[in-house]
Chains A and B, each alone.
Chain A
């Protein structure tokens, strides 16, 4: 049965809590530098959101989300870089009007695949379509042949490795290991000063909530039910006449597009893009955020991305040695002890107490049974 309400009560509370923290509390309490850091963490929340759909619901573990994050980020960065390399900005180069790293690598004209990135419309389309089509190709090739599980994870990981080596190796076209730095303006609007960072933060949060809405919509429709059914008993879904491969491809493409939006926002908020956000290590870290937050919970994954990154920054600032031990122990603990992550803990320990609180306040009404049913862990 499809729930007629968009959010049930506990999800509504999660939604309000997240909206309050992101829209009100953090902007009021943090200075611009820290707020910009939060914006950086939130770009990973997009990836985590995609992974909830693809891994939590669809059961497809992709270790190549960094690829899509990177593709989105590089599309955005290419546009910004072209705008920053106008002829007057680059007049000291031997070839003015092309990005500085091309000039350093003795490239004298803008390569053909860079040309369309002069247009913002094309760039925005590319941010969605390039990763989407790429995911479609990989997904079609793999899922139509019923490759899944561990094999899929390893192959996506290999794709992440390939893209990183390619970006690092072709430094004349991509900026190499340093990536694309010194991004300045978006259509003439300077993205570097403080007020721009605040505006970009809010744009990002609004986009994030739009993506949450899409994810929640997918989860509630029949599509979401089929994804869960597929994860639990793939063969039965296939025997019931559904094309399992198409649903998997869809989930994987959605995850890719979410990751690409995150990557594009990363390039805007942080002001550069480099291969160190594309490869194997960042891709696995993105999976970890999802696992820590709860692979089954849309809001949990976002909290996971925020909290793990926050812990990473503060711990690695003060105890650089301990951080990796802590992170490693965290992975092991999450996998062994809390497979549903923070949201699982919340649903098991905190939510029942809140429900009891509500139930005891309204003892005389006949809602008690209802509220118990509501309080059962979502999914």
Chain B
């Protein structure tokens, strides 16, 4: 099968395929970061995570349409405002959901799964009623179109590079918030021992609400980034939810490094395999490998050693 390509061509193909994997990696990381906070730290199975992401995507789409019709001169910068709005919208909805629904279910993690699945159905239908069943695409500003020519045969799309930079930035800020800030310390304290955290004066309910909001807000940003590489429909979120959960579980819940490592290995495996076989078989093999490894090592790649 390699007979038709010269060595240089093959090299370029691997680089470009690897780059496609990196874009997939960015979306996985952005989605999985939010989920790692919600599932890994709080133990809540949020099946509606994909819908929070899609909310971010729709907010981005609305912002871009608004700029297009009313502020065309500022259109090239709309994305930064859209991202902030997406974070706020998804985060606010997340905090509302936590207050109405999730806080009653902390002791029943499997039930959160059912309740959030119900929530995801409601949100999907709401998107369908408001935005229509058809997928919407965001128009990219001029500077994001086109691609960078690295060598004669290798070129990488600018929007992909942008998404990757964004991912790095957000990952660093999340790591900073979780591990360096006072609030992050409170979150980790509540996760490790809720009663003692309450006893030393941490408002655990408030911490729960903001943690859930933060996880959903990051999902919103993920949706915002997602609009640059694909179109958005009411059920787009559902396509990613299982992959994302696998990323989080595979990396070892509660470990941000593990999440990133597993997102990287899953996305690279998948995009490399896609070159050799059909997309569906590549996905099947990747998922099978992940499930197989999880059966051998159920705690995931990077497990925290916690005494239970």
Contact = CB atoms under 8 A, between A and B. Distances in A.
B291 A335 contact: no
Nearest to B112: A335
A327 interface: yes
Interface in B184-234: none
A154 interface: yes
A301 to B, nearest CB: 14
A287 B278 CA distance: 32
A167 B110 CA distance: 28
A169 B280 contact: yes
Interface string A204-217: 00000000000000
A162 B108 CA distance: 27
Contacts of B7: none
B287 interface: yes
Interface string B16-55: 0000000000000000000000010001010100000000
A155 B249 contact: yes
Interface string A327-353: 111111011100100000000000000
B101 A336 contact: yes
A328 B119 contact: yes
A336 B245 contact: no
Contacts of B129: 321
Interface in B277-308: 278, 280-281, 283-284, 287-288, 290-291, 294-295, 298
B115 A158 contact: no
Contacts of A284: 47, 114, 117
Interface in B115-145: 115, 117-122, 124-126, 128-129
Contacts of B115: 331-332, 335-336
A328 B110 contact: no
B287 A325 contact: no
Contacts of B182: none
A291 interface: yes
Given A162-B288, A169-B280, A335 B122 contact: no
Contact of B125 (A324, A335, A336): A324
Nearest to A332: B118
A158 B122 CA distance: 23
Interface centre among B45, B114, B126 (most CB of A within 10 A): B114
A147 B125 CA distance: 35
A235 to B, nearest CB: 10
A50 to B, nearest CB: 17
A328 B287 contact: no
B10 interface: no
Given A153-B45, A158-B291, A330-B118, A166 B280 contact: yes
Nearest to A322: B125
A135 interface: no
Contact of A331 (B109, B114, B288): B114
Given A162-B291, A287-B114, A332-B101, A169 B281 contact: yes
Given A149-B110, A150-B113, A334-B114, A329 B122 contact: yes
14 contacts: A63-B113, A153-B45, A154-B45, A162-B288, A169-B284, A284-B114, A321-B129, A325-B121, A325-B122, A325-B126, A327-B118, A330-B118, A335-B108, A335-B111
Interface of B: 39, 43, 45, 47, 101, 104-105, 108-111, 113-115, 117-122, 124-126, 128-129, 238, 242, 245-246, 249, 278, 280-281, 283-284, 287-288, 290-291, 294-295, 298
